[in-house]
Amino acid sequence: MRNIGPGPDAAVAEIAADQHGVIHIVQLLAVGLSRAGVARRAAAGRLHPVHHGVYAVGHPGLEPRGRWKAATLALGPAAVLSHRSAAELWRMLPESGHVPNVTVPGGGDRSRRRGIHAHRSTSLVRAEATMRDGIPVTTPARTLADLRRTAPSALVRKARREAEYLRLPLAAADRGDGTASGLEHAFLRLCRRHRLPEPEVNVRIDRYTVDFLWRPQRLVAELDGYRAHSGWQAFQDDHMRDTRLAARGYYVQRFSDWQIDSEPDTVIRTVRALIHRLTPARVV
């Protein structure tokens, strides 16, 4: 008796399972369905249109990855998730439910597709695209570069700090100022913008490397991102560090990433006041 392999519906289910619940019309036709067969399954509620030529299989509700995958399928084989959506896929930013951002290489007008924020880019090269969870996406470095052009600076700093915390592969940033993170870079720029005395950056004191040091005042500024400095053990380590530095005559002032992003004027006033108070009196 002739073996009959699984029908096209089994193949559709298998493909959709690998694509976060979605499938493209080209894939439907490739497994043996006709366009009339696709239409019948859509009418029966077995396929649900998401974008032109893209369907959710089984039910219309899609998780974020399903929506992101559907958006890239809709714009063709060269399309990649980008900008804020890519940052969310890389977990640099929390999932927001925003319309998916997708970039298509090449010039010309933006590819218009309802429900997709489409971008055209002549600068996107193959090395700046990769796959994550089966979704084509810009690399972390390219994602941050796109965010810098389109998102508020505070959001970009947040994404960069999270990328650094997650140890995502980022292209080495040529900051040229000795800073080791986006948070440190933002703080140093803030000091320069308000014309504070220039601190030393990432200086070794005793067994520790401190973020910033005003040596004449023996003033240390330490920057705390919540993810890297939360929890009981981190609290104890920071307390021991500050106590040891204080015993050696240093004044330690800590600032959170939230303060630097949301209360920069308060941060600057605090540093300026401390520099003034801790500056040794001149002997006449």
Rounded average pLDDT per 10-residue block, the chain, 284 residues: 64 96 97 96 96 95 96 95 97 94 77 84 84 95 88 86 85 61 82 95 86 96 67 66 93 90 92 96 65
Whether the Cβ atoms of residue 70 and residue 51 lie closer than 8 Å to each other: yes
Backbone angles phi, psi at 204, to 5 degrees: -80, 125
Pairing relation of β-strands 54-57 and 80-81?
Answer: unpaired
Specify the pLDDT at position 178. 75
Asked whether residue 158 falls in the same domain as residue 195, the answer is no
Quote the strand ranges of the chain, DSSP E: 22-24, 47-51, 54-57, 80-81, 101-105, 117-121, 129-132, 135-138, 200-205, 208-214, 219-224, 251-256
What is the pLDDT, as a whole number, of residue 234? Answer: 57
Which pLDDT does position 269 carry in this prediction?
97
Instruction: Give the pLDDT of residue 128.
Output: 87
| Total tally of structural domains belonging to the chain | 3
Is there a single domain that holds both residue 117 and residue 133? yes
Average pLDDT of the chain is: 87
| Residue 68 sits in the same domain as residue 132 | yes
- One domain for residues 210 and 157: no
Domain that holds residue 188: 182-278
pLDDT for 129 equals: 92
In a domain, 3, yes or no: no
- Same domain? 154 vs 197: no
The model carries a pTM of 0.64
Tokens of 256: 């959170």
| Separation of alpha carbons 4 and 86, rounded Å | 42
One domain, residues 76 and 151: yes
165, 195, 215 - which closes a domain: 165
Q: Are residues 78 and 146 in the same domain?
A: yes
Which secondary structure element, helix H or strand E, spans residue 148, and what is its range? helix 140-150
Query: How far apart are the C-alpha atoms of 69 and 62, rounded to whole Å?
Result: 10
- Asked whether residue 43 is domain-assigned, the answer is yes
Q: How far is CA 36 from the centre of its chain?
A: 42
Contact 64, 21 (CB under 8 A): no
Of 137, 165, 193, the domain-final residue: 165
> Are residue 82 and residue 127 in the same domain, yes or no?
yes
Same domain, 142 and 82: yes
Query: Cα–Cα distance between 103 and 117 in angstroms, integer?
Result: 9
Q: Counting runs of H as helices and runs of E as strands, what totals does the chain give?
A: 12, 12
**Position 136 in a domain:** yes
**81 and 26, same structural domain?**
no
**251 located within any domain:** yes
